[in-house]
Amino acid sequence: MKSNPKVTQFQRDCFANYLPDIQKKVGGFPNPYLYPDGNPIRPVVPVQTTLNKIMLVGAFPSARFERRNAKLIPIGDNLAPFGPEHYFDGFQVRVQESTESLHKNYFPQLGIERSDLWITDIVKVYLYPEKHLKNFPSSSFVDTHTLFPEIADASRDWFIRELDVCNPKLIITLGEVAARVVAQTKPLLDGVIRDLSYGNKHKVVHLAHPEIRRRNKDWDRRTSTHLGKLAKQIKKYV
């Protein structure tokens, strides 16, 4: 696959410099930033990078996990934002469930393919939530999930640069967290295409995250309706 020089340069800069930039800008952010076994937490850079079409944006990546004494322990970075992953966690084969849901419950309904997209997250590194920290209480780790607003703000210049490289005709955010960072209007998660000035001018639509659709039947029904309406408009962007 032939790479675009601008894309490659962004990927290289993001991988090398994103985390040091966040550590410098966000007070209390760990340095070094590590998984419980000592593996470094690194930026999960976009690898599905189609230009001039649609950018799909999440809040931040998850991680790969190992099951120990019936508890899930994060051990390594995801391979890509919303990338397909199948691996054995010591007990069973795990998949990236949000990615599986996108391929089953979003892309077919919208009439788009993964190859139509630039797929990314606003924050490029895994963030420890309290529910994961409880699984290894003997270790001293910072609840970086609570720092998300500060980290997202510190990531603004990176996101604007990414938008400039991608030059999307349409931005789709997934979930309320990502929508609140990007959105300049309300309501959120209603599937309506709006104008957005974020760096340059863009079109944006906010959709529910696959996770909430799995957990909440009302959001599943609502999002299915939004996708049906959006499918009639999205062809002009691919």
CB atoms inside a 10 Å sphere around CB 63: 20
Tokens coding 97: 């469930």
Sign (positive or negative) of CA dihedral 216, 218, 224, 226: negative
User: Would you call the peptide bond into 32 cis, given omega within 30 degrees of 0 as the criterion?
Assistant: yes
CA 91, CA 94: separation in Å to the nearest integer? 9
Residue with tokens 């391979």: 79
Q: Rounded to two decimals, what is the model's pTM?
A: 0.94
Task: Please write the tens of the pLDDT for every residue from 32-77.
Answer: 999 999 999 999 999 999 999 999 999 999 999 999 988 999 999 9
Q: Does position 152 have pLDDT exceeding 80, yes or no?
A: yes
Which has more pLDDT, 234 or 137? 234
Q: Report all structural domains of the chain as residue ranges with CATH numbers, in order of start.
A: 5-237 (3.40.470.10)
Q: For residue 49, which of 100, 6, 7 has the smallest C-alpha distance?
A: 7
Task: Please write the tens of the pLDDT for every residue from 177-211.
Answer: 999 998 866 778 888 999 887 777 889 999 999 99
Mean pLDDT value across the chain: 93
Task: Please write the tens of the pLDDT for every residue from 9-23.
Answer: 999 999 999 999 999
CA 106, CA 174: separation in Å to the nearest integer? 11
CA 211, CA 174: separation in Å to the nearest integer? 10
How distant is the alpha carbon of residue 173 from its chain centre? 9
Local structure of 195: helix, strand or coil:
strand
